[in-house]
Amino acid sequence: MVTSTTFVTMEINRAAILAKLNDEVYCLKPNQGRISLPIINRICKKMQHELKFKPICVSSDNLIIDGHHRYISSIMSNFKIEIISDYPKPTELNDFYWNNVKFINEDWDSAAKIKMLNEEDASYNGLKIEEVESIIKTNY
């Protein structure tokens, strides 16, 4: 069961994300040039409710292979997330830096994908799907 807690309202936008990335000692590097802000918002809400997430996969040189949205959400939510290092690098590498990543307002996830992800999160956390769905509908 999800517990009721007071949550900090946070503005999640490019400037706030870059301020956190530049303000803290974060060493992971991006491997993609676009990040969806609506996805980050959904993950942050789940993290504020202390849902567990799959680890972030990174290469030996701290390049994010899988988990860009989870990584940023964990930073924005002050949420500890596991990192699996020494993950194999992709054959094609992108040369991105956080300052040139585009943070867009487009939601890449369809309603069907959001439902599937919520079902996975519910299962992973031992919750009912309705509990996870109520979390992402919450406005802080």
pLDDT of residue 26: 65
For 65, phi and psi rounded to 5 degrees? -95, -40
CB atoms within 10 A of CB 62: 12
Grade residue 24 by pLDDT with cuts at 50, 70 and 90.
low
Angle at 68 between CA 65 and CA 72, to 5 degrees: 145
For 37-77, write each residue's pLDDT tens digit: 999 999 999 999 999 999 999 998 889 999 999 999 999 99
For 108-140, write each residue's pLDDT tens digit: 999 999 999 999 999 999 999 999 999 998 775
- Give the C-alpha separation, 11 to 118, whole Å: 23
Domain boundaries, the chain: 14-137
Choose between 7 and 114: higher pLDDT: 114
- Give the C-alpha separation, 137 to 26, whole Å: 29
Residue 4 has pLDDT above 60, yes or no: no
pLDDT of residue 105: 95
